[in-house]
Amino acid sequence: EAQVTQNPRYLITVTGKKLTVTCSQNMNHEYMSWYRQDPGLGLRQIYYSMNVEVTDKGDVPEGYKVSRKEKRNFPLILESPSPNQTSLYFCASSSDRSGKGNTFGSGTRLTVV
Amino acid sequence: GENVEQHPSTLSVQEGDSAVIKCTYSDSASNYFPWYKQELGKRPQLIIDIRSNVGEKKDQRIAVTLNKTAKHFSLHITETQPEDSAVYFCAATPVTGGFKTIFGAGTRLFVKA
């Protein structure tokens, strides 16, 4: 089954404790993105990648890092999480540069206390 | 910066009526416009999209119209059903200059039986 798999689904952590949210897709897509979703703000793009070792900032990259060492994986790293990073996070992948056919993961609800 | 404005934020209709959601984008380089439906607790899913060389696209009960001159596009749902109740997001993507996607803030649609 074609899918984007995110882990974990839920995470509660403390301020300053480094964490990684994993994202993996099995569709051989070149394009992948991370979004955060907050009430009243829609989805905001954090980082995106257009291929292995090619990543770039989206609209809200501060406090986040990503890597793309393999085509299928695109982890999101929070080196020192803060409470304002409490949010619902989605990973997405697409075979098309326009984002057509964007497939989203199930989401990760992160709470930073 | 680039942004997408979406209206209304909440829409309540009677079953069988039509619903219209409107979006305006700022980046004239945008030429791909998807619409996503997100049911409670689930991931966004693409329901229809349109490219800038097309003025209208229809898929059963849903249609999207695009006015590139005015930089706005709309989602039309006819004969609404209770299962149409969800949050709908519009988005705009420039095909050039990376892989950025800008989402609207979302419209919560209630369809009353």
What is the predicted pLDDT for the residue at B52?
Answer: 81
What is the predicted pLDDT for the residue at A40?
Answer: 87
What is the predicted pLDDT for the residue at A22?
Answer: 98
Q: Which residues of A touch B100 (CB under 8 A)?
A: 45, 48, 58-59
What is the predicted pLDDT for the residue at A48?
Answer: 94
Q: Which residues of A touch B26 (CB under 8 A)?
A: none
From the list B6, B100, B105, the residue facing A45 with the nearest CB is B100
Which comes out higher in pLDDT, residue A5 or B93?
A5
* Interface contact flag, B106 A42, Cβ < 8 Å: yes
Closest C-alpha among A80, A41, A75 to residue A60:
A41
What is the predicted pLDDT for the residue at B96?
Answer: 64
Nearest chain A residue (CA) to B94: A98
How are beta strands A108-112 and A10-13 bridged, if at all?
parallel
What is the predicted pLDDT for the residue at B54?
Answer: 82
C-beta separation of A51 from A111 below 8 A = no
* Residue A8: cis peptide before it, omega within 30 degrees of 0: yes
For residue B55, what are the contacts with CB-CB under 8 A and spacing of at least 6? B65, B66, B67
Average pLDDT across chain B, whole number: 93
pLDDT tens digit sequence for B11-47: 999 999 999 999 999 988 888 899 999 999 999 999 9
From the list A41, A42, A100, the residue facing B32 with the nearest CB is A100
From the list B9, B46, B103, the residue facing A43 with the nearest CB is B103
pLDDT tens digit sequence for A3-60: 999 999 999 999 999 999 999 999 999 999 999 999 989 999 999 999 999 999 999 9
Name the CA dihedral angle for B70, A31, B90, A38, rounded to a multiple of 10 degrees: -130
Residue among B89, B99, B100 with most chain A CBs within 10 A, to mutate: B99
* Interface contact flag, A31 B100, Cβ < 8 Å: no
- Whether the per-residue pLDDT at B99 is higher than 80: the answer is no
pLDDT tens digit sequence for B33-85: 999 999 999 999 999 999 888 899 999 999 999 999 999 999 999 999 999 99
Mean pLDDT of A49-77: 95
